[in-house]
């Protein structure tokens, strides 16, 4: 992958004036972690505002878990600093920092019952009212009746909630969730997503959630940082990342994208014109992320309109003619088409089943179109297939 990586433009002060500011969130500056010759996290800058639900999203091996472990203190950065509410915690021992973790596979203490698992942190810090607080916390995660059971007597979803309660009861400045839902089945995962989000809103703590599941990151987090090869590729609100990806990796890793090679023929103040295999398409300047003469014109499959060859589609961006439908899959809410274009590439089209539009079959001649405000333009030097092999093992 040869690509110019864009540093995330985080909100807040820049490097030069960060010295003694009152930033009360979690801040990573130039954090690097190498294991031998392998760089797990590469010169990472990250600001996580207090009270936010922040997701680190990326395929396995992208450095997201290492980042989390450095925040937890279970791993020490090779270089760089980590500050929390203005305090340097880079080298603080894990048991001396106000950060708690919900571990992947929970790591519940098998020799202690649910109550004692949850009470563990309070007892170590000799906090008063252990009994009342634990009972309240078990109430919050709806595990009151299970208090005297051992972890192995609980279901996966219940164990997950014990792990959450055990971390949450300490009211950490930052709660870290390391693929917390990875071991649950799909249905339970969906309900736990809602549950965790509800609890986060209720307690108002900062949550940092590590996941490789883009849907999970987008449903739960306010801010998503997409990581790859130890770097943050893009950071922003889920909708912003999805609608306006800045790299092929993000375009492919978050949802799916059609990426078509094109040559920029005109750069205007508001729009660019790109020659895409003979069809001129326009892209808003704000959505063009390359200065090069060539680029990848991107458009999400659900933004593409499909019509019979020769029909006038409602899209002022110009119509791309000459498509042949090569595959149709009906998935209920939508129909997904694969359309072979004259230049040989197959584009994806998702058509909502509103019941009003025409259905096509394999071999039909069609033309495609999309509204120009949905198109984006990416750096041609980037690999158009980057991020497409999503880690869906969870």
Partner 1 sequence: MSRRRGGRTGYLLLLPAVAWLVLFFVVPLYSLVATSLYDPTGSDFRGYEMDWAFGNYLDAVRDYARPLLRSLVYGAVATVLCLVLGYVLAYAIAFKAGRWKYLMLVLVVAPFFTSFLVRTLSWKLILADDGIVVRTLQAVHVLGPDGRLLATSVAVVAGLTYNFLPFMVLPLFASLDKIDHRLVEAASDLYASPVIGFWRVTWPLSLPGVVSGTLLTFIPAAGDYINADLLGSPGQRMVGGVIQSLFTDANDYPAAASLSVVLMALIVVMVLVYVRRAGTEDLL
- Supply the minimum distance, in Å, between the C-beta of residue 348 and partner 1: 40
Nearer to partner 1, 104 or 263 (CB): 104
Contact 227, 41 (CB under 8 A): no
- Supply the minimum distance, in Å, between the C-beta of residue 308 and partner 1: 58
- Supply the minimum distance, in Å, between the C-beta of residue 171 and partner 1: 12
β-pair type (87-88, 79-84)? antiparallel
Instruction: Please identify, among the stretches 45-53, 97-105, 228-236, 312-320, the one whose residues bind partner 1 according to the rule CB under 8 A.
Output: 97-105
Nearer to partner 1, 45 or 178 (CB): 178
User: Which of 206, 248, 202 is closest to 223 using CA atoms?
Assistant: 206
Nearer to partner 1, 109 or 350 (CB): 109
Chosen residue from 15, 111, 132, 152 binding partner 1 by CB under 8 A: 111
Instruction: Please identify, among the stretches 81-89, 96-104, 194-202, 298-306, the one whose residues bind partner 1 according to the rule CB under 8 A.
Output: 96-104
- Is residue 166 within the footprint of partner 1 (CB under 8 A)? yes
Nearer to partner 1, 44 or 72 (CB): 72
> ∠377-378-379 over CA atoms, to 5°?
135
Instruction: Please identify, among the stretches 12-20, 117-125, 153-161, 208-216, the one whose residues bind partner 1 according to the rule CB under 8 A.
Output: 117-125
Chosen residue from 14, 22, 95, 363 binding partner 1 by CB under 8 A: 95
- Is residue 152 within the footprint of partner 1 (CB under 8 A)? no
- Supply the minimum distance, in Å, between the C-beta of residue 121 and partner 1: 4
On the CB side of 115, how many CA atoms lie within 13 Å of its CA?
A: 11
> Which residues, 280 to 339, sit near partner 1 by CB under 8 A?
none
Size of the site for partner 1 (CB under 8 A): 24
Instruction: Please identify, among the stretches 57-65, 103-111, 193-201, 210-218, the one whose residues bind partner 1 according to the rule CB under 8 A.
Output: 103-111
Site string for partner 1, 169-188 (x = CB under 8 A): -x------------------
Show the 3-state SS of the chain.
CCCCCCCCCCCCCCHHHCCCCCCCCEEEEEEEEEECCEEEEEEEEEEECCCCEEEEECCCCCCHHHHHHHHHCCCCCCEEEEEECCEECCCCCHHHCCEEEEECCECCCCCCCHHHHHHHHHHHCCCCCHHHHHHHHHHHCCCHHHCCCCHHHCCHHHHHHHHHHHHHCCCCCEEEEECCCCCCCHHHHHHHHHHHHHHHHHHCCEEEEEECCHHHHHHHCCEEEEEECCEEEEEECHHHHHHCCCCHHHHHHCCCCEEEEEEEEEECCCEEEEEECCEEEEEEHHHECCCCCEEEEEECHHHCEEEECCCCCCCCCCEEEEEEEEEEEECCCEEEEEEECCCCCEEEEEEECCCCCCCCCCCCEEEEECCHHHCEEEECCCCCCCCCCCCCCC
Nearer to partner 1, 152 or 356 (CB): 152
d(CA 341, CA 322): 6
> Which residues, 62 to 81, sit near partner 1 by CB under 8 A?
72-74
Chosen residue from 59, 63, 77, 121 binding partner 1 by CB under 8 A: 121
Instruction: Please identify, among the stretches 162-170, 218-226, 359-367, 385-393, the one whose residues bind partner 1 according to the rule CB under 8 A.
Output: 162-170
- Supply the minimum distance, in Å, between the C-beta of residue 120 and partner 1: 5
- Supply the minimum distance, in Å, between the C-beta of residue 91 and partner 1: 15
Nearer to partner 1, 124 or 362 (CB): 124
Instruction: Please identify, among the stretches 4-12, 29-37, 163-171, 381-389, the one whose residues bind partner 1 according to the rule CB under 8 A.
Output: 163-171
- Supply the minimum distance, in Å, between the C-beta of residue 245 and partner 1: 34
- Is residue 156 within the footprint of partner 1 (CB under 8 A)? no
Contact 347, 216 (CB under 8 A): no
d(CA 167, CA 121): 8
Total Cβ atoms within 10 A of residue 1: 14
- Is residue 271 within the footprint of partner 1 (CB under 8 A)? no
Chosen residue from 66, 100, 248, 335 binding partner 1 by CB under 8 A: 100
Instruction: Please give the residue ranges that form the binding site for partner 1 (CB under 8 A).
Output: 72-74, 93-96, 99-101, 103, 105, 107-111, 120-121, 124-125, 166-167, 170
């Amino acid at each position: 992958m040869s690509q110019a990586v864009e540093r995330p433009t985080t909100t807040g002060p820049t490097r030069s004036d960060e010295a003694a500011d009152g930033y009360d969130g979690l801040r990573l500056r130039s954090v690097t972690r190498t294991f031998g010759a392998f760089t797990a996290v590469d010169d990472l800058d990250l600001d996580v505002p207090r009270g936010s639900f922040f997701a680190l999203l990326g395929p396995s091996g992208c450095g997201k878990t290492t980042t989390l472990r450095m925040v937890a203190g279970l791993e020490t950065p090779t270089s760089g600093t980590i500050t929390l509410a203005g305090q340097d915690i880079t080298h603080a021992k894990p048991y001396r920092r106000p950060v708690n973790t919900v571990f992947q596979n929970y790591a519940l203490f098998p020799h202690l019952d649910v109550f004692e698992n949850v009470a563990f942190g309070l007892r170590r810090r000799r906090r008063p009212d252990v009994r009342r607080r634990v009972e309240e916390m078990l109430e919050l995660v709806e595990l009151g009746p299970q208090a005297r059971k051992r972890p192995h007597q609980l279901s996966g979803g219940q164990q997950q909630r014990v792990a959450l309660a055990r971390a949450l009861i300490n009211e950490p400045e930052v709660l870290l969730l390391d693929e917390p839902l990875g071991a649950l089945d799909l249905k339970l995962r969906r309900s736990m997503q809602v549950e965790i989000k509800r609890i986060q809103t209720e307690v108002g703590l900062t949550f940092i959630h590590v996941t490789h599941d883009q849907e999970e990151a987008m449903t739960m987090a306010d801010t998503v940082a997409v990581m790859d090869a130890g770097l943050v590729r893009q950071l922003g609100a889920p909708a912003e990342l999805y609608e306006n990806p800045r790299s092929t990796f993000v375009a492919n890793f978050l949802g799916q994208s059609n990426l078509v090679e094109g040559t920029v023929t005109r750069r205007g103040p508001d729009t660019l014109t790109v020659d895409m295999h003979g069809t001129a398409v326009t892209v808003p300047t704000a959505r063009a992320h390359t200065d090069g003469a060539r680029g990848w014109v991107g458009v999400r499959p659900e933004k593409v309109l499909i019509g019979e060859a020769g029909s006038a589609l409602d899209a002022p961006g110009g119509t791309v003619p000459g498509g042949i439908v090569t595959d149709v899959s009906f998935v209920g809410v939508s129909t997904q088409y694969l359309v072979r274009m004259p230049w040989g590439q197959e584009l994806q089209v998702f058509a909502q089943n509103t019941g009003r539009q025409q259905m096509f079959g394999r071999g039909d001649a069609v033309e495609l179109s999309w509204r120009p405000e949905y198109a984006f333009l990416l750096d041609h030097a980037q690999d158009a297939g980057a991020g497409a092999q999503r880690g869906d093992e969870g």
